[in-house]
Amino acid sequence: MKKAFAIAVLSFAAILFYLDVAVQRAVNRNPSSGSSYRVMILGFDGADPEFLSSLMSQGKLPNFQRLFREGAYGTCRTFKPTKSNVVWTSIATGKRMEKHGIIDWMVLSEDGQERLLTTGNQRRTEAVWNIATDAGKSVQIVNWWATWPAEAVDGELVSNHFTKVRRARIEEATYPEALYEELRPLADMEDELVQEEMRSAGIPVYSPGMLEGVFRPSDNFGRRFRASVDLFAEDLLVERVATHLMETRGQRDLFGVIFRNADIFSHFLWRFIDLRLATQVYDLLNEKQVPLSLEIEQRMDQAYAAVLESVYVHEDRRLGRFLERAGPDTVVVVVSDHGFQFRNYGFYHYALGPPGARAPGSVETLAPPGVVFLWGPPIRAGTELTDPSVFDVTPTILYLMGLPVGRDMDGRVLVEALSPELLATRPVEWTPTHDKGRRGGEPRRSPVDEEILKELETLGYVS
């Protein structure tokens, strides 16, 4: 009798145990439970808030409009110099460049005799994918700036150098290393097919005759225009790689990818603005020396948004494809590192903003802001974010993933975007630092350094 009773008690205890496990698993799947979420970071380098706003108001960008309507949004403060490798490293670490150590496109060699491209192993602090890996989370990172040589993660990392795979074999372009051979065939695409993809999207493809009828074309304009086909192809490859990884490995706890089209085309397509308007504004600025006015800037922003419509529509469709892949327990974070501003004839992402302008907090001088959207189960629909900055992205991601935020980070958790129920269930937790003193090193040379340097020169990043 006692034995039977004991067995019954043990059986009941076992049932309770498995019920508890089942409940916990259900809680982990239930977005309203206060559990952690998976995060999908979609980076659109150079996406501008004014251009997005203009095109969304015309119904041209339904997927960005969906994020705006169903999620949280804000123009995203950035800092100068708005160099992509610098700012995107701040986005990935939540820290100023003085802390993370990526401060320019180039650095001097140890003997001071030559300039070398900055490489990812010079980063001194942990990136969000390192923090996630250390916490037992799985990650997929594709084409993030300053990620060559690829570092070990719990999952996959495809460095920004992998986009040059059609021109050279690049060691340490992926982690794990064997992933390189698996992904390499995805780069096989004919230039004619790339150009056809551009034409079908309505994006201009270079031809000598197109230099006629544009505003004051320059030699640099022609070089940038010609280079756009290769750079467009690289973004096609990036999407192929990201899609392949998600299809073959499933969606990881943290997924991140960067696309460059918005930035690339914004550097030179402004010369396609209506000639009449372009000439009128040029005369005002350079012959009559009329000071810039808000009206002039707004007219040029609207005109340039119209020119860039095909590029932004293309990226909006790309955004839609990733939204379809996001699981029900996923928060999507869409972010850009900067926008573009009209200054003394031209659109620049390194503009300083209005004379004497100062940004609050750690960003000292205004640079053209980018954008940030949050969308997913715990995000309050229709929320306007309160002065978000590029430093806020990683702290917010860490919180969403159920991880503590480093007190040495320069950003904050964007709590105004989050449901009160989630914050009440799981307050923000902190840790002094996620750094372990294991990072930082000398720049490394790669077989595609010359190609990358030429590209940076063509785009006007370095001289």
Structural tokens at position 76: 């995203």
Confidence of residue 295 (pLDDT cuts 50, 70, 90): confident
* Radius of gyration over every alpha carbon of the chain, rounded to an integer in angstroms: 24
Confidence of residue 115 (pLDDT cuts 50, 70, 90): confident
Residue 165's alpha-carbon distances to 160, 181, 234, 257, 371, in angstroms, are 10, 11, 10, 17, 30
Of residues 209 and 372, which shows the higher confidence score? Answer: 372
Confidence of residue 399 (pLDDT cuts 50, 70, 90): very high
**What was the pLDDT predicted at 209?**
83
Asked whether the bond before 217 is cis by omega within 30 degrees of 0, the reply is no
What is the number of residues in the chain?
463
Characterise 172 by phi-psi region: left (phi > 0), alpha (psi -120 to 50), beta (else): left
**What was the pLDDT predicted at 419?**
96
Number of separate helices (H) and strands (E) present in the chain: 16, 15
Strands 106-108 and 383-384: unpaired
Q: Kindly state the average pLDDT of the residues 129-138.
A: 98
- pLDDT at residue 188 greater than cutoff 50: yes
Neighbours of 218 (CB within 10 A): 11
- pLDDT at residue 39 greater than cutoff 70: yes
Neighbours of 215 (CB within 10 A): 17
Of residues 18 and 36, which shows the higher confidence score? Answer: 36
Q: What percent of the chain has pLDDT over 90?
A: 67
Helices marked H in 255-401 — which ranges? 261-266, 275-286, 294-307, 309-325, 393-400
**154: Cα separation from own chain's centroid:** 21
Averaged pLDDT of the chain: 87
Contact 174, 180 (CB under 8 A): yes
**What was the pLDDT predicted at 219?**
79
**What was the pLDDT predicted at 323?**
98
Whole-prediction pTM: 0.88
Pairwise CA distance, residues 90 & 71, whole Å: 23
**What was the pLDDT predicted at 38?**
98
Pairwise CA distance, residues 20 & 14, whole Å: 10
Strands 347-348 and 341-342: antiparallel
Confidence of residue 129 (pLDDT cuts 50, 70, 90): very high
- pLDDT at residue 66 greater than cutoff 60: yes
Of residues 33 and 296, which shows the higher confidence score? Answer: 296
